[in-house]
Chains A and B, each alone.
Chain A
Amino acid sequence: MEYRGYTQHISRQFNDELEAIKNDLLEMGGMVERQIGMAADGLLLRDSALAEQAIDVDRSVNAMEISIDRQCGNIIARRQPAASDLRLIISIARVTTDLERIGDEASKVAKMAIKRAQESDTSATSRYFAQITEHVTGMLRSALDAFARLDTREAIKVVLSDKTIDADYQVALGDMKDQMRHNPHCIDAALDYTWALRSLERIGDHASNIAEQVIYLTEGIDVRHKSVDELSQLLDSVRASGAHAH
């Protein structure tokens, strides 16, 4: 059945605990979004200070992961959540892991940014990097919005949009190969960009995972490893049933 939100338990304390953990998750999501922005700008603008900040934020992201995990454990031990409450806790635990990994990928980009900023070689760059950054950040924002609003339709769209990121990544990768082929002196810089692009692509995968957890939370359906066709059918059935942000 549709997710009813975490309010209205007879135990107000339980409501408060669920609200607190959900707020923490969204705060962690906001942190990670900012971290991606800092790391990507650090690389594009050759701004190592910005990149350092992204790495600093990762420490806070890691601390949030541990704090949210602890809260999940406490709620399971003390409340034995069931049905939608159980799905909420399971999905929060999974989303937390994805956010922490996004933080790690952003840190990798930040490290590339610091390295590039320290070197004078500007022979290679990726004209697709900014565009893919924008897409994956948008994907992550939509996934987190879908989580906050319990919006199944939006979540399905996020999952489906991962294919676009994958396609963009292949194009960007082809471009980097071309640059390396035409100018072997740029290989060092081009490899750094290639790894940074790879991190963005992974961030897209994690954003897609987060959206999958929204669908699990709202509909009780596990869509991990489902094909695009199966997801499209699910989107159609959600549209037909009129489900939307609860």
Chain B
Amino acid sequence: MDKRDALIRLSGLKAGGDRSPPDLEVRGLSLAYPDNENALREISLAIPAGKITSVIGPSGCGKSTLLRCFNRMNDLIEGAEYTGSILLEGQNILARDTDVTLLRRRIGMVFQRPNPFPKSIYENVAYGPRIGGIRRKRQLDAIVEHSLRSAALWDEVADRLYESALTLSLGQQQRLVIARTIAIEPEILLLDEPASSLDPISTLRIEELIYELKHSYTIIIVTHNMQQAARVSDMTAFMHLGRLVEFDRTDTIFTNPSRRETEDYITGRYG
């Protein structure tokens, strides 16, 4: 048994290869806010399991709004009203009786700016599992190491686990946040512009990490950076004015899109 397998067993985490990430299907989803009736309009798409799906589009097109629907973050906005459904393994996660806390365990989210807790590196990662009831130090240690390894950060922080997370570089902080998200064993990862505040090298590290993680998770990434979408994703969705304009294999979207709006956006033309 290699070290990774031992860590997985000790931590109680499921090995990425041992589980199948779930499908996520959006059906006729619309979202209205009091000041924007058409934040999302009749969106339908099937997000494939174990793949990376990018959502691209101009500012204000609704891509982050769509992402936030997947773990009900829009509930925090007063007066937000959904129609349609989002099916996770056949269950509508927009239903009133959905346990949102449990949903957010299953669907983790990483934001644009890294937001580590003002605690040690170790505590950032151990926080979630501890809240989830894991108390044994040995098990927490294993989870922290496994999560940091999965986030490609272990080698850089192994000898400073008890230092403040705020001493890390921005790129390291973002990988720490990903490790923190992984530690609670989500099945789906939502990444909202995860590299937009990072330098090019840190961006490449995050992209490499995303590629590694896709074997274990269904990943949805919102990005302004079209080249990033082209580099990392298997599928790409193009949104405009709250509508889904086109959803196809990334290769197709970037070489021969079928809709004129998509062509105009990715080639930098006037609409």
Does B17 interact with chain A (Cβ within 8 Å)? no
Which residues of B233-271 are within 8 A (CB) of A?
Answer: 253-260, 262-263, 266-270
- Chain A residue contacts of B257, Cβ below 8 A: 1, 83
Query: In the assembled complex, which residues on chain B have CB atoms less than 8 Å from the CB atom of A83?
Result: 253-257, 262-263, 266-267
**B contact face: mostly helix, strand, loop, or mixed:** helix
Quick check: B266 and A8 within 8 Å, CB to CB?
A: no
Q: Is the CB of A220 within 8 A of B255?
A: yes
Contact of A87 among B256, B260, B268 (CB under 8 A): B256
Q: Does B230 contact A (CB under 8 A)?
A: yes
Establish whether residues B256 and A220, one from each chain, have CB atoms under 8 Å apart when the complex forms.
yes
Interface size class of B (residues with CB under 8 A): 10 to 19
A82 touches B226 (CB 8 A): yes
- A209: Cβ under 8 A from any B Cβ: no
- Chain B residues whose CB sits within 8 angstroms of the CB of A82 once the complex forms: 226, 230, 254-255, 266-267
A84→B263 contact, CB < 8 A: yes
Contact of B269 among A1, A9, A86, A87 (CB under 8 A): A9
The reply to whether A8 and B260 contact each other, CB–CB distance below 8 Å, is no
Is the Cβ of B268 less than 8 Å from the Cβ of A1? Answer: no
- Give the one of A81, A82, A220 with max B CB within 10 A: A82
How far, in whole Å, are A11 and B267 apart by their CA atoms in the complex? 10
> A-B pairs with CB below 8 Å: how many?
45
* Residues of chain A with a CB closer than 8 A to B270's CB: 8, 10
**Is the Cβ of B254 less than 8 Å from the Cβ of A10?**
no
Shortest Cβ distance from B230 into A: residue: A82
Q: Which residues in A have their C-beta under 8 angstroms from that of B268?
A: 9-11, 14
Q: B101 an interface residue at 8 Å Cβ cutoff?
A: no
The residues of B that contact A81 with a CB separation of less than 8 Å are: 267
User: What 1/0 flags go to A76-119 for Cβ under 8 Å of B?
Assistant: 00001111111100000000000000000000000000000000
Q: Is A4 an interface residue (CB 8 A)?
A: yes
* A87 and B255 in contact, given A1-B260, A80-B227 (Cβ under 8 angstroms): yes
Q: How far is the CA of A84 from the CA of B260 in the complex (A)?
A: 11
Measured CB to CB, the closest approach of chain A to B197, in angstroms, equals 21
What's the Cα separation between A85 and B270 when bound, in Å? Answer: 14
Interface size class of A (residues with CB under 8 A): 10 to 19
**A13 CB to nearest chain B CB (Å):** 11
A residues 1-50 near B (Cβ < 8 Å) are 1, 4, 8-11, 14
> A84–B267 contact, CB under 8 A?
yes
The interface residues of chain B lying within 8 Å CB-to-CB of A84 are 263, 267
Complex Cα distance, B255 from A61, in Å, reads 30
Contact status of A1 and B267, CB under 8 A, knowing A80-B227, A82-B226, A82-B230: no
Alpha-carbon separation in the docked complex, A11 to B259 (Å)? 21
Chain B residues near A85 (CB, 8 Å)? 267
Is the CB–CB distance between A1 and B227 below 8 Å? no
- Pick from A4, A10, A14: contact of B263, CB below 8 A: A4
Report the minimum CB–CB distance from B62 to chain A (whole Å).
Answer: 22
Q: Which residues of A contact B258 (CB under 8 A)?
A: 1
Could you tell me if B256 and A1 are in contact, using CB atoms closer than 8 angstroms?
yes
Q: How far is the CA of A4 from the CA of B267 in the complex (A)?
A: 11
Contact A1 B263 (CB under 8 A): yes
Per-residue A-contact encoding for B197-228, CB less than 8 Å = 1, 0 else: 00000000000000000000000000000110
Binding site for B on A (CB under 8 A): 1, 4, 8-11, 14, 80-87, 220
In the complex, 21 of the A-B residue pairs with CB atoms within 8 angstroms, ordered by the A residue number, are A1-B256, A1-B257, A1-B263, A4-B260, A8-B269, A9-B267, A9-B268, A10-B269, A11-B268, A82-B226, A82-B267, A83-B253, A83-B255, A83-B256, A83-B267, A84-B263, A85-B267, A86-B254, A86-B255, A87-B255, A220-B256
